[in-house]
Amino acid sequence: MSLALFLLVACPPASTKDDADSAPALPDSGTDTAADLDTGSPGTGTDDSGSSDSDPGDSQPQDDGDSGAPGDPDHDGDGYPASIDCDDDDAGVFPVTFMDGSSSPSDATAIFDGGSAGAPASVVLVDAGEYRFCDGLYYVTVSISAENVTLSSVNGAAVTTLSAEGHGSVTRLESAVVSLSLHDLTLSGGAAANGGAVDNTVGGTVSLTNTVVDGNTATSCGGGIVSYDGYLTLDNSDVINNSASSAGGGICCADCFLSVTASDISGNAVGNRGGGLYLGGFSSTMTVTGSTISNNTATAGGGAWHEMSSPRYQDSYITDNVGGGFTVYWSANTVVDCTGGSGGVLRNTENGASMDYAAWFSSVDCDWGTGADDNTPYDVNYGYSYGANATFSCGWVEGCS
Ligand SMILES: [Ca+2]
Ligand SMILES: [Ca+2]
């Protein structure tokens, strides 16, 4: 088809009908010329393709008078165009929505906005409630002094990230009464002395649900998360690719209560003890259930280092760590229980488990590896070596059998 013929077919006479908008079936009540000269007021005109329409690219057949840029409408009139408003049909949902439970949602966008990679926004939260984020990458450091604060997202961790981009911890608790819940978020880019993504050195309470702690660093303890004298709960969350200099590449927990369920602690590294996690202090307890600790690296305790604590692994895997599966040092009671039908300590470099001054250790129905799955050189290094034992208990070194 020649260009001339194509133009004849595609372009009706401009003076007789709507000329170029996205709803050509609509008659244009204005008088068109070859160009669009519709003079209707915004919201009342019928041709939206011309210079008189502020949103020629949106889905409205006519100028809708909204404040969105061309092609980026603000349908719900909340002041935010669809590109950053993850619910553009709900005027009560903003890029960052704050809900305190007692009134209608309010707009918290301004306090989280405006940060850049070089200068993250420094946010202090003094009001209890939930801050829910639309999709996006927010450059922030967040310190929390309100008692109960939830940071969450509308569409999940894969599309919603808070990053400190090397300028401190992503989140920091300011006192022991603070309880911080993290839901459906990714925390990354934190860099601090302790706790790159979550700094809880004050004895507060932290829980992570459907959350990813990825790519944070600490010069001392807890590349991803630190918890001193506090409570830390992970549910269906990942602590991955974090690093620390001295202890706990992923997690550092001292005098704390740690609960890990259906989570993944992988790919973390530390210069000294506890590649995945470090559990220390005189009163720490830990339960890891249905989770995986894998591919972490340390000089000792590649997967985990337990010191003066009581760790319990329930139906969990400790695999492929460099520097040993886990080390138990001066600890009262260690249990590795796989009676639920899964879990094991497999393919760790050096030992599956190493123990010094461990009072009691038991393994129930766990796979400690055979053949290609064996740990090297020992499944259990207890001063002596024990290999491929599925179920055994050791009370003090000489009682191990
Ligand atoms: Ca909107
Ligand atoms: Ca909205």
- Do 239 and 366 lie in one domain? The reply is yes
CA of 111 to the centre of ligand 1 (A): 18
CA of 105 to the centre of ligand 1 (A): 14
- Do 172 and 289 lie in one domain? The reply is yes
Using the 3D structure, point to which of 20, 52, 73 is the last residue of a domain. 73
Q: Tell me the per-residue pLDDT of 231-259, one tens digit each, with 9 for 90 and over.
A: 999 999 999 999 999 999 999 999 999 99
Q: Across residues 279-298, what is the average pLDDT?
A: 95
Q: C-alpha angle 139/95/104, rounded to 5°?
A: 130
Q: How many residues does the chain have?
A: 401
381: exposed, middle or buried (Cβ count in 10 Å: 0-12, 13-18, 19+): buried
122 occurs within a structural domain:
no
58 occurs within a structural domain:
yes
Judged by its nearest atom, the ligand closest to the C-alpha of residue 79 is 1
Residue 16 CB partners (closer than 8 Å, separation 6+): none
Q: C-alpha angle 90/91/96, rounded to 5°?
A: 95
CA of 191 to the centre of ligand 1 (A): 34
Q: Structure pTM?
A: 0.84
CA of 81 to the centre of ligand 1 (A): 5
Report pLDDT for 378.
81
Is the pLDDT assigned to residue 55 strictly greater than 80? Answer: no
- Do 215 and 321 lie in one domain? The reply is yes
- Do 243 and 386 lie in one domain? The reply is yes
Q: 74-78, 94-98, 133-137, 153-157: which range is least confident on average?
A: 74-78
State how many domains the chain has: 2
Q: Across residues 369-380, what is the average pLDDT?
A: 82
What is the C-alpha to C-alpha distance for residues 336 and 355, in angstroms, rounded to an integer? 13
Residue 332 CB partners (closer than 8 Å, separation 6+): 309, 310, 359, 360
CA of 155 to the centre of ligand 1 (A): 16
Q: Which one has a higher pLDDT value, 398 or 23?
A: 23
Is the pLDDT assigned to residue 48 strictly greater than 50? Answer: no
CA of 186 to the centre of ligand 2 (A): 22
CA of 171 to the centre of ligand 1 (A): 28
Displacement of CA 79 from its chain's centroid (Å): 28
CA of 89 to the centre of ligand 2 (A): 6
CA of 75 to the centre of ligand 1 (A): 5
110 occurs within a structural domain:
no
Q: What are all long-range contacts of 103-112, with beta carbons under 8 Å and residues at least 24 apart? A: 107/78, 107/79, 109/80, 112/138, 112/140
Judged by its nearest atom, the ligand closest to the C-alpha of residue 80 is 1
Backbone angles phi, psi at 112, to 5 degrees: -100, -10
Judged by its nearest atom, the ligand closest to the C-alpha of residue 58 is 1
Per-range mean pLDDT, top range of 17-21, 48-52, 372-376: 372-376
Report pLDDT for 399.
28
Kindly report the average pLDDT of the chain as a whole number.
83
What is the C-alpha to C-alpha distance for residues 215 and 88, in angstroms, rounded to an integer? 32
- Do 194 and 324 lie in one domain? The reply is yes
Residues with CB under 5 A from ligand 1 (ion): 74, 76, 78, 80, 85, 88
- Do 202 and 68 lie in one domain? The reply is no
Q: Across residues 374-383, what is the average pLDDT?
A: 79
- Do 68 and 174 lie in one domain? The reply is no
132 occurs within a structural domain:
no
What is the C-alpha to C-alpha distance for residues 352 and 330, in angstroms, rounded to an integer? 18
Label residue 372 by pLDDT band (50, 70, 90): confident
Is the pLDDT assigned to residue 396 strictly greater than 90? Answer: no
Report pLDDT for 367.
86
Judged by its nearest atom, the ligand closest to the C-alpha of residue 89 is 2
Using the 3D structure, point to which of 36, 51, 73 is the last residue of a domain. 73
CA of 124 to the centre of ligand 1 (A): 26
138 occurs within a structural domain:
no
CA of 101 to the centre of ligand 2 (A): 18
Is the pLDDT assigned to residue 74 strictly greater than 60? Answer: yes
Q: Across residues 46-67, what is the average pLDDT?
A: 46
Residue pointed to by tokens 């050791």: 394
Q: Tell me the per-residue pLDDT of 317-333, one tens digit each, with 9 for 90 and over.
A: 999 999 999 999 888 88
Closest CA to 105 of 94, 116, 117: 94
DSSP string, 7-29: HHHH---TTTS--SSS-TTSPP-
Q: Across residues 125-146, what is the average pLDDT?
A: 98
36 occurs within a structural domain:
yes
Helix (H, G, I), strand (E, B) or coil at 111: helix
Strand partners, 133: 96, 153
CA of 65 to the centre of ligand 1 (A): 13
Q: What torsion do the CA atoms of 207, 211, 217, 220 make, to the nearest 10 degrees?
A: 20
Judged by its nearest atom, the ligand closest to the C-alpha of residue 81 is 1
Q: Which one has a higher pLDDT value, 98 or 282?
A: 98
Using the 3D structure, point to which of 73, 108, 133 is the last residue of a domain. 73
The answer to whether 322 and 351 have CB atoms below 8 angstroms apart is no
Report pLDDT for 33.
33
What is the C-alpha to C-alpha distance for residues 373 and 357, in angstroms, rounded to an integer? 27
CA of 76 to the centre of ligand 1 (A): 5
Residue 99 CB partners (closer than 8 Å, separation 6+): 105, 106, 129, 130, 132
Q: 38-42, 209-213, 247-251: which range is least confident on average?
A: 38-42
- Do 190 and 297 lie in one domain? The reply is yes
Which tokens in the block code for residue 137? 């990458």
Which of the 8 DSSP states describes residue 40? P
Furthest-apart CA atoms within the chain: distance in Å: 100
CA of 86 to the centre of ligand 1 (A): 8
Label residue 27 by pLDDT band (50, 70, 90): very low
CA of 132 to the centre of ligand 2 (A): 12
What is the C-alpha to C-alpha distance for residues 192 and 169, in angstroms, rounded to an integer? 6
The answer to whether 307 and 282 have CB atoms below 8 angstroms apart is no
314 occurs within a structural domain:
yes
CA of 333 to the centre of ligand 1 (A): 56
Q: What torsion do the CA atoms of 199, 322, 339, 364 make, to the nearest 10 degrees?
A: -110
Instruction: Name the CA radius of gyration of the chain, rounded.
Output: 29
Q: Across residues 102-114, what is the average pLDDT?
A: 93
Tell me the residue range of the domain where 241 lies. Answer: 168-399
